[in-house]
Structure 1
Amino acid sequence: MARQLDEQIAGRFPVGRRLRVLDVGMGRGTQALRLARAGHQVTGIEKDTAMLSAARAALCAEPEGIRERVRLIEGDGRDTGVHFLPGSFDVVLCHGVLMYVDDPDPLLAGLARMLAPGGLLSLLVRNADALAMRPGLSGDWQTTLAAFDSTTYRNRLGLDGRADRLEALTATLAGIAAPLHAWYGVQVFTDTAADEEPPPDDPTALLAAEERAGRTEPYRAVAALLHLCGVRG
């Protein structure tokens, strides 16, 4: 997914421009630090104190030049209007967050307001149109049948989540003046891999297959996750 995001950034902004990035629900800060290393000014918001502590520890291990480009805030992504003025960012990331928000529309509208004109909104969501794939490939037929008409699921950690449909999110993005520009599938072939299964010694072929499938019909439509990129009008 990092390659997809970099591709969208490169296609929208001049080479070498230092972007203002907001990472909502940044977790351990992996994406935020990666973008800071690339020269961008990054603000990360995270409400989970354990995740925020991990992000701060990772940031402390970075060189001073990178540390000074990152600001970390403890807070909820639905409160961006409290912290920032509209149009404050060129790129807003919201990866792996919407599945834990009952009503995502207010959150998305708030994130769109944070974007400057022409800014990029990057979302990573659970694909409701593919919820039957994991239990089906695992032979859990009762769960498979129930998943066809559902937008809820239970993840491997035992947490209940909510999935989104591409059609509905496309309409939402159009309604908040950040219409869909591009979308990709994520975890097309690897979603059923066991958590304890070690990665291959050379993941080159695996990554290439996932990258190709994430851009290609019909494979991307049945990916476990969807990566959507909207652009502020």
Structure 2
Amino acid sequence: MTDSTPLSSAGDRHFDGLAEKFAGSLYGGPRGELRLALLDDLLPRLLDLDGQPLLDVGGGLGQLSAWFARRGHPVTLLEPAGDMLDQAREALDGLPVSFVQAPLQALLDHAPGPWQLIACHAVLEWLSDPRAAFATLAEGLAPGGQLSLMVFNRDALRMSNVVKGNLQKALDDRLEGTGKRQRLTPISPLSHAQVVAWSRECGLSIRGVAGIRVFHDYLRQPPASEDDWQRLVALERRYCQAEPHWRLGRYLLYTLTKDEPTNEERAP
């Protein structure tokens, strides 16, 4: 049987033909609800927002683009999957959003900027070379610009496998997905240490970091009542930036800023 979700020629995970599954698995249900609720709380605190234009890289179905557009930001949504882009156009009709069908790697050709504000949420972990993609994002930023980056946390994936009893898999560090069939385990989960190292390489500074879903994904049973759900949300909000809890968030959310050039670098 032919694999319906092949990797691209570059080895990246494609989502063509998976818009409905993507919406259900990543945004439908409590996991997606909690993720969006935490972003709603964190983004205004982690970013300096004044209505500046936003480039939403790998914007998918447009949830993040909608969040910024409704707060007065003109948005350019860059997304390679045509069916996801079609759904985003429909969902964001009437909002100040323009659409570009292109992968992250082509950002500098299709939306070169430089941009004062870029968002790239849950994208790098689906790429075969996330380090090069990170460098592309940094290149697209203007000096002093902000990058809102969210990545799938490798350490959290290891912890999740241990909780599920996949002990040998955790010992062998076989955590990546294959990118085949319809499983949605990322092919390149990232560690905080990698983001720190790549930021230094690219002249970016980490101004803030938070964990998204630091407790939820390890629960043995889902919340049994609305009151329990609200208690869980309160716990997630209280500890998402607290040591050591943020480090085991299923996702890690960063604000990175591009360093201003020094006087020596400005000199001709």
2:102 touches 2:110 (CA, 8 Å); kept in 1? no
Question: In 2, Cα distance between the equivalents of 1:172 and 1:151?
Answer: 21
Q: 1:192 to 1:157 in 2, by over 3 A?
A: farther
Q: How far off its partner does 1:198 sit? A: 8.4
Which residues of structure 2 form unaligned runs of 5+? 1-37, 260-268
Aligned partner (choices 140, 143, 155) of residue 117 of structure 1: 143
Question: In 1, Cα distance between the equivalents of 2:101 and 2:209?
Answer: 29
- Per the alignment, residue 226 of structure 2 pairs with 201
1:37 aligned onto 2:35: no
- AA in 2 matched with 1:204: Q
- Per the alignment, residue 158 of structure 1 pairs with 183
Aligned ranges 1:2-81 → 2 under 5 Å: 2=39, 3-9=41-47, 12-13=48-49, 17-60=50-93, 64=94, 67=95, 69-81=96-108
2:130 touches 2:188 (CA, 8 Å); kept in 1? no
- AA in 2 matched with 1:85: P
- Per the alignment, residue 128 of structure 1 pairs with 154
Question: In 1, Cα distance between the equivalents of 2:225 and 2:84?
Answer: 27
1:180 touches 1:230 (CA, 8 Å); kept in 2? yes
Q: 1:198 to 1:23 in 2, by over 3 A?
A: farther
* Deviation per residue, 1:54-81 (Å, 9 max, x gap): 1011012xxx4xx2x2111111111111
Q: Which structure 1 residue ranges, 4+ long, deviate > 6 Å from structure 2?
A: none
Which residues of structure 1 form unaligned runs of 5+? none
Question: In 2, Cα distance between the equivalents of 1:198 and 1:154?
Answer: 31
Q: How far off its partner does 1:128 sit? A: 1.8
Say which structure is richer in strand: 1
Question: In 2, Cα distance between the equivalents of 1:45 and 1:84?
Answer: 8
- TM-score w.r.t. the length of structure 1 is 0.83
Aligned-pair Cα RMSD in Å: 2.4
- Per the alignment, residue 143 of structure 1 pairs with 169
Aligned partner (choices 96, 100, 107) of residue 133 of structure 2: 107
- Per the alignment, residue 224 of structure 1 pairs with 250
Moved more, 50-59 or 153-162: 153-162
* Deviation per residue, 1:135-158 (Å, 9 max, x gap): 2212232333233xx562469952
Question: In 1, Cα distance between the equivalents of 2:81 and 2:255?
Answer: 25
Aligned partner (choices 112, 119, 133) of residue 93 of structure 1: 119
Question: In 2, Cα distance between the equivalents of 1:71 and 1:20?
Answer: 11
2:124 touches 2:188 (CA, 8 Å); kept in 1? yes
1:131 touches 1:153 (CA, 8 Å); kept in 2? no
Question: In 1, Cα distance between the equivalents of 2:224 and 2:43?
Answer: 23
SS in 2 for 1:162: coil
2:108 touches 2:136 (CA, 8 Å); kept in 1? yes
1:151 touches 1:164 (CA, 8 Å); kept in 2? no
- AA in 1 matched with 2:176: T
- TM-score w.r.t. the length of structure 2 is 0.73
SS in 1 for 2:66: helix
